[in-house]
Amino acid sequence: MKKTLTTPKRSFSILITASLLAGCGAGAGTNAGQTAVTETTAASAQTHAEAGAAPQETIAVSGDSFDGSSCLTSDSIAGKYQDAYGTKSPNTEEYGFIQENGFRSVAQEPLSTFSADVDTASYANIRRFIRYGQSIPTDAVRIEEMLNYFDYEYPDPEGEEPFSVTTEYSVCPWNEDNRLLLIGLKAKEIDFANRPSSNLVFLLDVSGSMYADDKLPLVQKSFTMLAQNLDSRDRVSIVTYAGYESVVLDGVSGSDTAKIAAAISDLEAGGSTAGSAGIQKAYQLAEKNYIPGGNNRVILATDGDLNVGLTSQEDLTRLIEEKRKSGVHLSVLGVGTGNIKDNKMEALADNGDGNYSYLDSIYEAKKVLVDEMGGTLITVAKDVKLQVEFNPAYVSGYRLVGYENRILDKEDFHDDKVDAGEIGSGHAMTALYELIPAKTADAASDPGLKYQQDVNAAYESRPTNTSTELLTVSLRYKAPNGDASKLMAHPVESSSFTEILPENLAFAAAVAQFGMVLRDSENKGTATFDSVIALARSSMGQDSDPYRKEFLELVQEAQRIYGK
């Protein structure tokens, strides 16, 4: 399992009131509303597969198995809201349009610049569609978020640098004429004992659209788990919004777990969705309880279905761009089925210097809010940008796989006023480039670049490029509370090429192929479900990460859904 926060060993039990347990999965013998999260062996794999989770975890509710599926009985929370709001609603999910990256000529565009992105929402959402036996909307597939869902065991950074940089260079599985480059970043981990204090505002959508078991009841269980891992160093506020915003808690100690859990369990869904008012109130509390040098963050849980106040993606983005100047970060947890507004939730997180995750089950909630708590909540670097300069002696063309909504102009790399992504404690980021090998060097005329030199107009000749480097990966980043960026550079030698795909690159290539097949990409080449399965299998050893094993199961199930 991917771990991005070192935590002391502790039992993992959650106390939730009986009214919450009535929402789903509690047996007749419920004992004081106790929910326990435990880890088990692969014997429980089938249960977890049905719940959309990695097969090494299970959730027990008073000793009964909880499969994360909908249970709309008349006694359940969701059942009561179904009675009030009806049993059927049209599918109104929204996804932002993605214009897939094409190939670029090194002679014309030797620089490729983009913002870091460690969101994982797309992969969990894809899993939800597959588990429900449904085809996947094309624009729900963001390949970078699929890649970044997995752990590639990159080395920890050394010295004072916040990142390590790993590269792997080999053949391209879906196009034998091209080559494939992996760039991996790994952020330093913050030890739990030395982590900064957190000022957290739980901003919870309790509107009528949140009545289903995969919405508010899941949110309640998820935030109760998070509360279990806070202590006296932390402050917690809770703001809810439906037709209007309401302050439930204001800056209570993180050690007051019972009070926080009780406040969460008492929430009920109903009414319209005044999300912008809730956002403004949440930032107001975050600024009021601000901890200098601490982790000041609003955590929004919603289906994104806003219908009162500021509702458009553009208006919400402008609101968040203004609010981030306060030094408060925004993380977004998406939930639900049928009406999620993925485009709005992604835009809020991207512009709020935060991250975006989708919770398709309680297992994913535990992964995001407990197992990867440091990466989700503690920022080690912000405004992280990457710029790759290609050497035309070895590369004639390139294509960045994914990251379409993170592309920056080359000038943005050196402009500290341009916003970019944040990376949390222990987070890893993976990017793939498909490269067209050069047959002849055809360099651009730009004396400011490393491999391209100025043309001598009088002699119409170009100085010889003698570098053996394939490319250089440059990074810019700021400290969490800093304003000036720092620069890192990592050259990659052309001699690093290997004919045999390394395990990490092979698995990342399988994930990217899966995304291209789901999108029916014009760049998918020879990629098919069968080739994805074969490559994924070849990159998994006996001790493989269970999330990788689950990936293989999902590809096989998707193949059955699509009949290919």
> With the C-alpha atoms ordered 363, 421, 380, 294, is the resulting torsion angle positive or negative?
negative
Q: Tell me which residue of 291, 277, 284 sits closest to 235, measured CA to CA.
A: 291
pLDDT number for residue 322: 82
Q: What pLDDT is stored for residue 453 in this prediction?
A: 57
Q: In whole angstroms, what is the distance from residue 557 CA to residue 553 CA?
A: 6
Q: Rounded distance, CA 564 to CA 551, Å?
A: 17
Q: What is the pLDDT of residues 339-360, one digit of tens each?
A: 889 998 998 898 888 899 999 9
Contact 154, 428 (CB under 8 A): yes
CA distance 350 to 526: 33
Question: What is the predicted pLDDT for the residue at 378?
Answer: 86
- Which pLDDT belongs to residue 134? 95
Tokens of 335: 């939930």
Tokens 């109130």 map to which residue?
Answer: 281
SS3 200: strand
Q: Is the dihedral of CA 368, 369, 370, 372 positive or negative?
A: positive
The Cα-based distances of 438 to 111, 249, 392, 509 in angstroms read 16, 61, 7, 22
Strand partners, 435: 179, 398
pLDDT of residue 12: 36
Angstrom CA distances, 23 to 65, 227, 339, 428, 452, stand at 14, 20, 20, 35, 63
Query: Given this model, what pLDDT does residue 482 score?
Result: 87
Task: With CA atoms as reference, report the closest residue to 378 among 427, 416, 344.
Answer: 427
The per-residue pLDDT string of the chain (564 residues; one tens digit each, 9 = 90 and over) reads 443 433 333 333 333 333 333 334 333 333 333 333 433 333 333 334 444 444 444 333 223 333 333 333 434 444 444 444 444 456 889 999 999 999 999 999 999 999 999 999 999 999 999 999 999 999 999 999 999 999 999 999 998 889 999 999 999 999 999 999 999 999 999 887 788 899 999 999 998 889 888 999 999 999 999 999 999 999 999 999 987 789 999 999 999 999 999 999 999 988 766 667 888 899 999 999 999 989 999 999 998 776 545 456 677 778 888 887 888 999 999 999 988 899 989 988 988 888 999 999 999 999 999 998 888 888 899 999 999 999 999 999 999 999 999 999 999 999 999 999 999 999 999 999 999 999 865 555 565 788 975 433 333 434 456 889 999 999 999 998 888 999 999 999 999 999 999 999 999 999 999 999 999 999 999 999 999 999 999 998 766 789 999 999 999 999 999 997
pTM of the full structure: 0.83
The DSSP 8-state label assigned to residue 412 in this structure reads G
Residue 273 and residue 306 in contact, taking contact as beta carbons nearer than 8 Å: yes
Cα–Cα distance, 418 to 431 (Å, whole number): 21
Cβ-in-10-Å burial (0-12, 13-18, 19+) of 34 comes to middle
pLDDT score, position 23: 36
Q: What is the CA radius of gyration of the chain?
A: 24
pLDDT at 123: 98
- Tell me the pLDDT tens digit for each residue of 83-141: 444 444 568 899 999 999 999 999 999 999 999 999 999 999 999 999 999 999 999 99
Q: What is the 3-state secondary structure (H, E, C) of 55-116?
A: CCEEEEECCEECCCCCCCCCCCHHHHHHHHHCCCCCCCCECCCCCCCCCEECCCCCEEEEEC
Name the residue among 31, 1, 29, 25 with its Cα closest to residue 13. 31
Q: Alpha helix (H) ranges present in 191-274?
A: 216-228, 257-265
Percent above pLDDT 90 for the chain: 60
User: Considering only CA atoms, which of 510, 487, 521, 514 is closest in space to residue 173?
Assistant: 510
pLDDT at position 60, please?
A: 33
